Amino acid sequence: MSIQVYNTLTGRLEPFQPFSGDKANVYVCGPTVYDYSHIGHARTYLSFDIIIRYLEYKGYKVTYVVNITDIDDKIINRAKETHEDPLSLSKRFEQAFFEDMKGFHLRPANFYPRVSDHMQDIIAMVRDLIRKQFAYEVDGDVYFDVTKIRDFGKLSHQSLDQMMAGARVEIDRKKKSPYDFALWKHTGEDEPGWESPWGRGRPGWHIECSAMSMKYLGPQLDIHGGAKDLVFPHHENEIVQSESYTGKKPFVKYWIHTGFLTINGQKMSKSLGNFITIRDLLKKHSPESFRLFVLSTHYRRPVDFSEDGLIQAKATLERMYETRDRLDNLVKSHDYKESSPKDEERLLEEVSEAREKFLMGMDNDFNSAIALASFHHLIRLGNKIVDLKPSKKVIEIALNTINELGWVFGLFRQEKKGSVVSNDVKALIEERDKARKRRDWKKADEIRERLRKMGVTLRDSPDGTAIVVES
């Protein structure tokens, strides 16, 4: 069966059929790098990671692009506060973003284009939009003229007339219509700027995503995504400027938007100040626990962050590892019991049914929450199989199915159950390993005791490194 995708543009579930056969082009709006990324960002990139993994699992050849917004008002304002050059500030936080993402083992994007590296592409596009009379220049600023577009508002399902009637928008004397948006902004000498046909300036936010997505993926994209906050105006504006530029419709076949990660029901955001950075989260929790926490909810629904939720995810994850390890050990132990072929057939059918249900869940708009319920069932079956000790074939099929579907979820990145630990614990174990190498037994024992108080029990392996037995 084909994958059904909920398309924000049509408001319906649609069968996934990319523009060209088995090639799927995916563009997801990346971070504005003026601060450390928070776990709301991680939720969105993890949700797209699951989507992309599933597309690849189904045989699609995915090209994935995530942009880096390294020049914008927020960056400039922050740089003024810290007395830094805006581009070096954004470079610093771009590096931090990559470091933070590394822990989550995301399928890397094929391209991470930066705005500051694509000025000429952006200028060429703005120029063409003026030539085609979709945009106009006023005192060094360039605006897109939304009144030229009949279907402006189609993504957020509102018409320009409704918008004008309903909203209180600030009147800007430079704009012909209040919903016109800046493609190019004139900048003063004290701000970053690039030479252009309209004088020194920098791009407005929306144009970067049209210019860079088309450069790497062509004039039409299969999937374009981001969290729900980007539907209007960002993605709406991307549509009109891209379709006016290329003359091709639709710019994007499937628009996918993720729900927010909230905290006490409120969207987590840098501007509200209610955020938890990824680095702070990873001091206490493992990236894999967070992954499981995120995939327990369908990507379109909100996820409310809670410490309890993460503690529970860790316990669940450990049970999954334990079952996998038990099956693995049983295969290696050669301790198989003879069982009647009839029993075996029933077990194999149950495993296969759980697998089918998992895939049906994922086919249904990548519903990882439904798929996870089947995965839990599979884990319970795995334990039943270990207790029954059937033939090697059954054990191996159960183990392979758990590993196969675990791969779709991006789980089982650790070798053994006990390795699901936070960065703090990892750092302490490393410190203790080093102390042991120096033969500093006192220090090594102190750290072992500290870890024990944190609930982590170690065993030393023959090569001198510690293995977590229980955490």
The option from Zn ion, ligand AMP, none interacting with 196 (CB < 5 to 8 A, set by class) reads: none
In terms of residues, how long is the chain? 471
> Rule CB under 6 A: which residues touch ligand AMP?
29, 31-32, 40-41, 43-44, 226-227, 229-230, 258, 260-261, 267-269
* Minimal distance, residue 65 CB to ligand AMP, in Å: 13
Task: Candidates 22-30, 80-88, 160-168, 216-224: pick the segment binding Zn ion (CB under 5 A).
Answer: 22-30
Q: Give the C-alpha separation, 410 to 160, whole Å.
A: 42
The option from Zn ion, ligand AMP, none interacting with 41 (CB < 5 to 8 A, set by class) reads: ligand AMP
65 binds Zn ion (CB under 5 A): no
Q: Quote the tokens at residue 389.
A: 């000790």
Contact with Zn ion (CB under 5 A) among 29, 281, 386, 405: 29
Phi, psi (5° rounding) for residue 248?
-105, 135
* Residue closer to ligand AMP, measured from CB, 156 or 269: 269
Task: Candidates 10-18, 23-31, 35-43, 319-327: pick the segment binding Zn ion (CB under 5 A).
Answer: 23-31
* Minimal distance, residue 43 CB to ligand AMP, in Å: 5
* Minimal distance, residue 379 CB to ligand AMP, in Å: 28
- Compute how many other C-beta atoms are within 10 angstroms of the C-beta atom of residue 403: 14
* Residue closer to ligand AMP, measured from CB, 54 or 205: 205
Q: Quote the tokens at residue 124.
A: 């060429």
For helices 39-57 and 392-409, angle between their N-to-C axes, nearest 10 degrees:
130
* Residues 183-242 contacting Zn ion, CB under 5 A: 209
* Minimal distance, residue 28 CB to ligand AMP, in Å: 6
Amino acid found at 167: A
* Minimal distance, residue 333 CB to Zn ion, in Å: 53
Contacts with Zn ion by CB under 5 A: the residue count is: 2
Distances (CA, A) of 413 to 57, 150, 288, 355: 17, 49, 8, 20
Q: Quote the tokens at residue 286.
A: 């493992």
Instruction: Provide long-range contacts, Cβ within 8 A and 24+ apart, for 393-400.
Output: 393/344, 394/344, 394/347, 394/348, 395/327, 395/330, 395/331, 395/336, 396/331, 397/348, 397/351, 398/327, 398/347, 398/351, 399/324, 399/327, 399/328, 399/331
* Residue closer to Zn ion, measured from CB, 257 or 448: 257
* Minimal distance, residue 391 CB to ligand AMP, in Å: 47
* Residue closer to ligand AMP, measured from CB, 229 or 350: 229
Residue 168 Cα to chain centre, angstroms = 34
Q: Give the C-alpha separation, 387 to 421, whole Å.
A: 28
The option from Zn ion, ligand AMP, none interacting with 212 (CB < 5 to 8 A, set by class) reads: none
User: Is-contact 385 395, C-beta < 8 A?
Assistant: yes
* Residue closer to Zn ion, measured from CB, 31 or 103: 31
202, 207, 213, 214 alpha-carbon torsion, rounded to 10°: -100
Q: Is there a cis peptide before residue 203, judged by omega within 30 degrees of 0?
A: no
* Minimal distance, residue 260 CB to ligand AMP, in Å: 4
The option from Zn ion, ligand AMP, none interacting with 31 (CB < 5 to 8 A, set by class) reads: ligand AMP
Phi, psi (5° rounding) for residue 470?
-145, 135
Task: Candidates 27-35, 278-286, 324-332, 448-456: pick the segment binding Zn ion (CB under 5 A).
Answer: 27-35
* Minimal distance, residue 235 CB to Zn ion, in Å: 7
User: Is-contact 471 418, C-beta < 8 A?
Assistant: yes
Residue nearest to ligand AMP (CB): 40
* Residue ranges that bind Zn ion, judged by CB under 5 A: 29, 209
